[in-house]
């Protein structure tokens, strides 16, 4: 038997998913596990979202749509930018995608060629690095160190070393939860445009900031590409539905690539997602619980010897320094899962260089689960 293996398959595994798989194996044997490993809301999609999907199933309306998505959903997303940010976005600049993951694939394919240099922050979401590595893009990881977020000076310094073709950042960020302040975001986009660096802004955790209103990078540059999703705030992870806001020059290239890669986003999910923008009351109640969980972890994690490595401004993550307990966060995460039955993500996922010193705890679960997790970790450490 001949099996051909590409070097693209040699990318680093997504360790959060490996930890989740091990947690699920333990659960299957009857062990009670509290999972703080994966960034997934514990709540289902809003009621009206599920009702819209159920009605569509009854009608049987599930098929291909336009590659860039249903017109009604693109209009709803465009209206959201007016309602939430006060920004006018034309529906024809919206591309609906099969989750934000497909949006990143499409952006990287349409915007960069093999060998192009693209800057990302470290720590940062591992899929950025892994997808670009598989595509032959040169990843320039900017170690944030004591800085909470990527800023203009980082970009200027990296560009001086060797010109960059693009930069990708998230605010609020995964894994840190840090938010780029509006003035710093404006300066970051401005210096990128001045230096001819294409900007991708990952805004998947928008509407999950706790100390300041959301600011979209679209407010500061006409060439910005924004990626967002219904997964996080809207509690629709498994529906695999996201979107892009594109400069007009990118709309047709993205459409052409998507036609062959995906044909179209799933119609059932698109129909349901239209209703998500009308479920704010239900979703704000979920966010209020995240805020409650956040307050708990901000107090309890440092008490347990896990000082915060970044401010918990948004998303639903606490990113912690674990060097009081270990210099091998991967082994520590496995041991904590096996013995304390609490799952969290080792920092190696987010920072290959310094990730052995950190871990990410997701607080998207129930408050009772967060209380129980802290109690289990405390008993285990003793």
Give the whole-angstrom CA distance, residue 182 versus residue 192.
Answer: 15
Three-point CA angle 328, 331, 337, nearest 5°: 135
Give the whole-angstrom CA distance, residue 169 versus residue 245.
Answer: 15
Give the whole-angstrom CA distance, residue 234 versus residue 277.
Answer: 8
**pTM assigned to the model:** 0.95
Cα dihedral 263→267→272→275 (10° resolution): 70
pLDDT tens, residue by residue, 198-239? 999 999 999 999 988 999 999 999 999 999 999 999 999 999
3-state secondary structure of 258: helix
Asked if pLDDT for residue 71 goes beyond 90, the answer is yes
* Sequential DSSP letters for 5-43: --GGGGSPP-HHHHHHHHHHHHHHTT---EE-SS---SS
Rounded to the nearest angstrom, the gap between the alpha carbon of residue 244 and the centroid of all alpha carbons in its chain is: 14
pLDDT tens, residue by residue, 328-366? 999 999 999 999 999 999 999 999 999 999 999 999 999
pLDDT score, position 10: 77
* Sequential DSSP letters for 316-330: TEEEEE-TTT-S-HH
Domains identified in the chain and CATH numbers: 7-45+280-381 (3.40.640.10), 62-278 (3.40.640.10)
Give the whole-angstrom CA distance, residue 20 versus residue 347.
Answer: 15
Query: Could you tell me if 200 and 168 are in contact, meaning their C-beta atoms sit under 8 angstroms apart?
Result: yes
Beta strand spans in the chain (E)? 34-35, 94-97, 117-122, 138-143, 166-170, 198-202, 225-229, 242-245, 317-321, 342-343, 345-346, 358-362
Report the percentage of the chain scoring pLDDT > 90: 92
Nearest by Cα to 54 from 243, 229, 269:
269
pLDDT score, position 8: 80
Give the whole-angstrom CA distance, residue 306 versus residue 332.
Answer: 13
Helix (H) or strand (E) holding 337: helix 329-340
């Amino acid at each position: 038997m001949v099996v051909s293996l590409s070097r693209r398959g040699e990318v680093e595994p997504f360790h959060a998913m490996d930890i989740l798989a091990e947690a699920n194996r333990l659960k299957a044997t009857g062990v009670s596990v509290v999972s703080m490993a994966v960034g997934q809301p514990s709540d289902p999609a809003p009621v009206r979202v599920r009702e819209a999907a159920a009605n569509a199933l009854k009608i049987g309306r599930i098929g291909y749509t336009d590659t860039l998505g249903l017109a009604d959903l693109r209009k709803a997303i465009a209206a959201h930018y007016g309602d939430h940010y006060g920004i006018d976005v034309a529906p024809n600049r919206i591309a609906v995608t099969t989750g934000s993951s497909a949006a990143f694939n499409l952006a990287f394919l349409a915007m960069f060629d093999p060998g192009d240099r693209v800057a990302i922050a470290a720590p940062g979401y591992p899929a950025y690095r892994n997808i670009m590595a598989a595509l032959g893009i040169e990843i320039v990881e900017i170690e944030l160190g004591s800085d909470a977020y990527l800023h203009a000076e980082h970009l200027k310094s990296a560009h001086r070393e060797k010109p960059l073709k693009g930069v990708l950042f998230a605010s609020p960020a995964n894994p840190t939860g840090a938010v780029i302040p509006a003035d710093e975001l404006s300066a970051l986009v401005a210096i990128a445009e001045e230096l001819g660096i294409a900007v991708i802004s990952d805004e998947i955790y928008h509407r999950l900031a706790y100390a300041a209103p959301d600011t979209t990078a679209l407010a500061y540059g006409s060439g910005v590409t924004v990626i967002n999703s219904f997964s996080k705030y809207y509690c629709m992870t498994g529906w695999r539905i996201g979107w892009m806001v594109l400069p007009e020059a990118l709309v047709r290239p993205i459409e052409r690539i998507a036609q062959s890669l995906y044909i179209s986003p799933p119609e059932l999910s698109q129909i349901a997602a239209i209703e998500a923008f009308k479920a704010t009351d239900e979703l704000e109640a979920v966010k209020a619980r995240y805020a409650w969980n956040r307050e708990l972890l901000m107090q309890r994690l440092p008490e347990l010897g896990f000082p915060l490595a970044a401010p918990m401004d948004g998303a639903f993550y606490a990113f912690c320094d674990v060097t009081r307990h270990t210099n091998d966060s991967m082994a520590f995460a496995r041991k904590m899962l096996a013995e304390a039955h609490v799952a969290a993500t080792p920092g190696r996922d987010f920072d290959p260089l310094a990730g052995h010193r950190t871990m990410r705890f997701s607080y998207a679960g129930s408050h009772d689960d967060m209380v129980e997790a802290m109690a289990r970790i405390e008993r285990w450490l003793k």
